[in-house]
């Protein structure tokens, strides 16, 4: 928990002027563009373990709290708590099968592009019960209707209930139940809903086309796979791309889809997706030259609990295995070989951002282990048009000690969900 002083600081709107020294040091900025972009940071809404965010044009703002539920902030600033997990208080409805554990809980939220007509929002959560296929648990995707007064939801319908779940502790770092759920949810410009799902610490999952773990789905509002999806033969038709580790961010530039994904002690990645593509993550043991691994998952091997140079790790267990899968989707950006808990990402929209307009903001939860510097920050990436490369041109949010979980963007605004400070912040260029 932050101390009182930092909490007080967080309550105040602040203006940061980034030092031109940093820009000069990158060697990427011309003299005339070596101007600092200053940003104002204001607390927008208090939220414990904030996760999903979805803003509407009129300022209505849906958000989730991992161990709470779904809420909405109306344009006037009032907060309506809509749907809570079992044991939660203050919500207009409580759904007792929903729960949180470790990394799992209430995650992404998305608003239907035709919300004005159908009042639909979509919500990712974990659920438990005898009917749940993964040891009594499952990650599910729900669709629900929001009332005209924005104070309650109804018609909660499960549209996907087979997204996997890790039910038991395993012999791995962060090995508890509920690991690696992905969790991002967003409508694309094509009108389909995109859903990211992590590997659940499953070795075979990411390359197995009959399972949804380690995938990005593209579905319609009933959870049915888009007819245009082109996964390999024998794959589930809902699969848009496969071979992912734990994508927690998804965001669109024009028609192009990008994910941001945390790496295994190395190589956080930003990747442009191609329909039917393989992200190249295959943490199985006893394939592709690897021996057997603890509990069948090589995701942190070798030397999973100890220090080791990132390059050796990447050679043993690559985030994108181009040797085994030469056609795998190459990342646009690798976090300098490091894993620092890359989470959400969002394109900066609007001229207000000046030289940052059209650049990709990427957040990090800030994992520092085995000598990796703690990287709780936001990077601003200049991603090439073809999505094959990116330059990290600036580090935003100086003086920062939060855990950035998720980012969301509207014109001229970047919303930042910060787990450490228990709030969503509104970042605007000045």
CB of 354 to Ca ion, least distance (A): 32
Give the residue with the Cβ less far from Ca ion, 164 or 318: 318
Q: How far is the CB of 389 from Ca ion (least distance, A)?
A: 15
Minimum distance from residue 94 beta carbon to Ca ion (Å):
38
Question: Smallest distance, Å, CB 271 to Ca ion?
Answer: 6
By beta-carbon proximity to Ca ion, the closer residue of 106 and 259 is 259
Cβ distance to Ca ion smaller for residue 200 or 320: 320
The residue within the footprint of Ca ion, chosen from 319, 342, 361, 416 (CB under 5 A), is 319
280 binds Ca ion (CB under 5 A): yes
- Residue 335 as a binder of Ca ion (CB under 5 A): the answer is no
> How many residues sit in the footprint of Ca ion (CB under 5 A)?
4
HEC letters along the chain: CCCHHHHHHHHCCEEECCCHHHHHHHCCCCCCCCCCCCEEEEEEEECCCEEEEEECCCCCEEEEECCCEEEEECCCCCEEEEEEECCCCCCCEEECCEECECCECCCCEEECCCHHHHCEEEEEEEEECCCCCCCCEEEEEEEEEECCCCCCEEEEEEEECCCCCCCCCCCCCCCCCCCCCCCCEEECCCCCEEEEECCCCCCCHHHCCCCCCCEEEEECCCCCECCCCCCCCCCCCCEEEECCCCEEEEEEECCEEEEEECCCCCCCEEEEECCCCECCCCCCCCCCCCCCCHHHCCCCCCCCCCCCCHHHHHHHCCCCCCCCCCCCCCEEEECCCCCCCEEEEEECCCHHHHHHCCCEEEEECCCCCCCCCCCCCEEEEEECCCCCCEEEEEEECCCCCCCEEEEEEECCEEEEEECCCCEEEEEEEC
Task: By CB under 5 A, tell whether 196 contacts Ca ion.
Answer: no
Nearer to Ca ion, 223 or 243 (CB): 243
Q: Is 212 in the site for Ca ion (CB under 5 A)?
A: no
Does position 183 interact with Ca ion (CB under 5 A)? The reply is: no
Closest separation in Å from C-beta 329 to Ca ion: 6
Judged by beta carbon, residue 2 or residue 209, the one nearer Ca ion is 209
Q: Does residue 52 touch Ca ion according to CB under 5 A?
A: no
Question: What's the min distance (Å) between Cβ of 270 and Ca ion?
Answer: 10
User: Is there binding between residue 279 and Ca ion (CB under 5 A)?
Assistant: yes
320 in contact with Ca ion (CB under 5 A): yes
Smallest distance, Ca ion to C-beta of residue 334, A: 9
Is 339 near Ca ion (CB under 5 A)? Answer: no
Give me the least distance between CB of 263 and Ca ion, in Å please.
9
Residues of this chain that interact with Ca ion (CB under 5 A) are 279-280, 319-320
């Amino acid at each position: 928990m932050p101390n009182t002083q930092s909490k007080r600081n967080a309550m105040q709107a602040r203006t940061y002027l980034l030092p031109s020294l940093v820009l000069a040091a990158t060697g990427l900025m011309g003299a005339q563009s070596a101007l600092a972009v200053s940003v104002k940071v204001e607390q927008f809404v208090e939220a414990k373990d904030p996760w999903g965010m979805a803003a509407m044009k009129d300022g209505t703002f849906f958000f989730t709290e991992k161990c709470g539920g779904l809420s909405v902030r109306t344009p006037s600033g009032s907060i309506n708590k809509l749907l809570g997990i079992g044991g939660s208080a203050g919500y207009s409805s409580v759904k007792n099968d929903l729960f949180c554990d470790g990394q799992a809980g209430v995650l992404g939220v998305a608003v239907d592009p035709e919300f004005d007509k159908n009042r639909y929002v979509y919500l990712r959560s974990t659920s438990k019960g005898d009917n749940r296929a993964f040891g009594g648990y499952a990650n599910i995707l729900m669709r629900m209707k929001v009332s005209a007064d924005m104070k309650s939801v109804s018609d909660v319908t499960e549209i996907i209930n087979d997204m996997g779940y890790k039910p038991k502790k395993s012999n791995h770092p962060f090995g508890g139940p509920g690991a690696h759920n992905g969790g991002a949810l967003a409508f694309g410009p094509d009108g389909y809903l995109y859903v990211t799902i992590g590997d659940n610490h499953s070795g075979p999952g990411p390359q197995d086309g009959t399972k949804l773990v380690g995938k990005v789905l593209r579905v319609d509002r009933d959870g049915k796979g888009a007819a245009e999806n082109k996964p390999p033969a024998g794959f589930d038709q809902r699969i848009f791309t496969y071979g992912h580790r734990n994508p927690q961010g998804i965001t669109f530039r024009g028609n192009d889809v990008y994910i941001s994904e945390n790496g295994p002690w190395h190589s956080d990645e930003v990747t442009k997706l191609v329909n039917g593509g393989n992200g190249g993550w295959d943490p199985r043991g006893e394939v592709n030259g690897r021996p057997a691994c603890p509990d069948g998952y090589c995701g942190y091997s070798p030397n999973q609990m100890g220090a080791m140079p990132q390059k050796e790790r990447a050679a043993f267990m690559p985030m994108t295995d181009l040797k085994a899968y030469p056609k795998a989707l190459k990342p646009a950006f690798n976090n300098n070989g490091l894993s620092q808990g890359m989470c959400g990402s969002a394109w900066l929209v609007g001229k207000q951002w000046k030289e940052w307009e059209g650049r990709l903001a990427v957040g990090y939860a800030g994992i520092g282990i085995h000598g990796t510097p703690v990287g709780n920050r936001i990077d601003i990436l200049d991603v090439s048009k073809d999505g094959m490369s990116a330059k990290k041109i600036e580090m935003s949010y100086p003086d920062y000690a939060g855990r950035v979980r998720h980012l969301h963007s509207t014109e001229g605004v970047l919303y930042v969900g910060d787990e450490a400070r228990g709030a969503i912040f509104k970042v605007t260029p000045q």
